[in-house]
Structure formats: structure tokens, C-alpha cells
Structure 1
């Protein structure tokens, strides 16, 4: 029996959702549906306030459309500890995962990685994502032995996938890796925004020896594995 995954874009920008559909490859035996938040949700999620506003629109809409019990897994595609992850998990028997959590699991589970850094869209996210890392690993302080502190591109979420923006993105990534953090031996970059989906291959070509982890791609793969494991235990 196949698995069904709902890929949730909790902002109202269909452009972001369309990009997911273009770059994702379905694992064998898995079907995807893609959801974009209604127009009442923020077009771009830039921090705590817009995350809360997003959840207040999306959760009732998922209920009204009968989607909560219709899938084996739900991937919440906002790179943060988005409140929808927790509220949705209380209402569904399906497995719920956020894309930030997926990248952190990957970074901590790969023994070949020395140190990781999140590179995100705008600077408002930097302290929030650093707190997210600390909370996720259950530490009392930032786990500097495994992660360096988050850095931003200072590019709008809605522009991150535009080809015209790539040279700017590449230059900022270079300044972080080979400037600010040149002595940190960073060999893994977690692409810390759903709008960066698909940039992993492009950036890898410019920075040999560094793994660039697409949060939506790894989110789908880890979520699928966890849903399958849950079936084994049933």
C-alpha cells in the first residue's frame, strides 16, 4: 500500500509551492499533494508574528477541507519551529515534520560532517533559528561544537529561487563560508528557507567539499522513512 504525503506551504505564495513541485522527486510508492495557504495568510513568513498569523489561517483551513485525516504524513515547509507543526500533530494520526527539524536530524546523524551552519533568507530569522537549534538538541546553550550561528542572505523569500538572484546569493554564501567563518571548518550548509528549495545543486558546484542540504528534499525523504517505520510498528 502506497504512502500519501501533503506538502504544506504555510504562506500564501503559490510561486513557492510551484517550486516545490518542480524540484521534488517522489520516493517509490509515495504520492504527493501540494497545499498553499489561503490568501488571508502572510505572503511571506518573516518571524514569530507572521508564523503565528500563518498557523491561525492554515489550521482551520486544513480542518475545513478535510485534509487532516487524509494523509500518512505532513511536511510543514517553513524553516522554523512553526506552530503549525505542533497544532497539526495534536489533530492527526499522520506523522508531521517541519523542514528545519529534518535538516537538523540530518546534520546530527551524518558522522562525516564536522560542523554545520544554517544560511537563511533575512536577518530577523538569525536569533530565532539559533534558538531553534538549541531547543532541538535539548541544550542549555548554543551547541557550538556542531553548529555555527545562523547567517542570512538578506534576500526576500519570494526572490530566492529567481535565477537573477543567484550570483548575489553565491557571493553572500562565499562571504560567510570563506570570510566570517573561514576558520570553522564548516562542511555542511543547511538551506534555511523553503524558498531556497533547488539551490543545493547550484551552490554545490561553486563550493566543492561543502554539502548543501535542501530542507524540502531531505524533509520528504525523512518524513517518508518515519511514516514507513510507523507502519512497521503498527
Structure 2
């Protein structure tokens, strides 16, 4: 049994529930063709974590709140209890690097890095990010450049970040859906010429199907939660299998 931990580093349980829904949909698809061999635990940021992560300061605060719980051997979330950990915040979140720096750390997957790699290398089409509040635009633009390959063609595919001008917790309010879709159509597609749009916030989780229907299949939407979890499963399963073969 491969044991995985999905960490929502903010303290909003409803966001963890949305993340769980997306992950369990992935697991349901996999279990139709093979027996369940993956156990997933979900962690919501403890007291002291911000309700939403809207920039660098709240990212730092959430890391400082979550890390002690992950390091506590008596906690059910102790990092060494797992074969892999997904940090479910769309950014180069400091918690990912903090876990990786711990002794005997498991595989750690961040949402931004795997989404950029997939969009630029696997899909190979012009891509951009849609995010929540405007503060993220400059941050994600800078962080994305860090993860792009040095290949000129891959870098030319990157078109930039667009803000919905909504706060994270406003994204799943159904009254805002048309506004989000219109923003994508006007800016990501028409202005930036994107063929792929990364849903750059965990608050968008599960929205890709409705957006695809709304926009008539004009573009491909990447849900980082789905992609990140599938990346975690593939790599953690491989590493766990190889390690046990050597024992």
C-alpha cells in the first residue's frame, strides 16, 4: 500500500473538501481498472494558518503553521509516515522546499512546477495561468520563469498570468462563474493567445469541466490538483516499488 498525504496549507476545511473531491475522482477512475493500492490522507492547515493564501506573506505564515505538525512524530501527518506528499497550493509554496529539506523526506510534489512542466513540455502549446487576486500575477510570472526550461521554444510558449480580481474563497461562489469564464475568454484566450490555461489556484478545483463546456472546447484546461496528484501517484508508486525491491 502506497501512503500519500495531500496538504491544504490554509485553514479552510471547505477547500480541503473540494480538493478531496477532485482526488477521489482520480482514484475512482484508477480503481475501475486495478485494485486499490493507494491510501490517501488529507490535512488542512492548523490553527495559525491563514484562511486563504493570497500572496508571499500568507504563504510564509501557512508554512510556519503546518511544518511543526508535519514534523511531530506523534501526529498522524508526520512526514515520514508517507511515501509522497502533495502541497496543494498553486505557487512555489515554501512548505514544499521545507519538507524536502527534512531528513529522509519522501517525494514532495508542488502544483506550479508540475503544471508548468506538463504544459510546456508534454502539451507543447501556448499556455497561461488564470489566478485569484491581482497580487499573484507578478509572483506567479516570476515563479513560472524559474520552472521553465532553458529551451527557447518552451519559453516562447509561456504567455503570462491573468487575475480574476477575486479572492481565493470567492472562486467557488457560483455567482462568480460567468465572470471567471469571461475573464479567461477576454484575456487568456483573446489577448494572450493561449491554447492551454492552467487553473492557478486550488480554489478552481473541479471547475475545468464546466469551463470547457462554457467555452466550447476552445482550449485545454489544466487542473493542478488532478495533475499534481497523478504525478505524485506515478512517481511515489515507482519509488516505493523500487525501494521495496532493494530491501
* Same structural fold, with TM-score higher than 0.5 when normalized by the shorter chain: yes
Q: Which runs of at least 4 in structure 1 moved beyond 6 Å after TM superposition? A: none
Q: Distance in 2 between matches of 1:136 and 1:151?
A: 18
CA RMSD in angstroms, aligned pairs only: 1.9
Q: Distance in 2 between matches of 1:148 and 1:178?
A: 10
The partner residue of 1:155 within 150, 166, 175 is 166
1:106 aligns with 2:118: yes
Q: CA deviation at 1:138?
A: 5.2
Size of the aligned set, in residue pairs, is 228
Q: CA deviation at 1:61?
A: 1.6
The partner residue of 1:63 within 71, 76, 87 is 71
> What is the match of residue 167 of structure 1?
178
1:5-29 Cα shifts (integer Å, max 9, x gaps): 1110001111100111222222442
Whether contact under 8 Å (2:83, 2:236) holds in the other structure is yes
Q: CA deviation at 1:214?
A: 0.5
Change (3 A) 1:30 1:200: same
> What is the match of residue 34 of structure 2?
none
Tell me the secondary structure at the aligned position of residue 41 of structure 2: strand
Q: CA deviation at 1:215?
A: 0.7
Tell me the secondary structure at the aligned position of residue 154 of structure 1: coil
Tell me the secondary structure at the aligned position of residue 227 of structure 2: helix
> What is the match of residue 21 of structure 1?
20
Whether contact under 8 Å (1:134, 1:140) holds in the other structure is no
Q: CA deviation at 1:48?
A: 0.9
1:72-119 Cα shifts (integer Å, max 9, x gaps): 1100011111110001112243110111112112112324x4211011
Unmatched tracts of structure 2, length 5 or more: 32-36
Unmatched tracts of structure 1, length 5 or more: none
Between structures 1 and 2, the one with greater helix share: 2
> What is the match of residue 118 of structure 1?
129
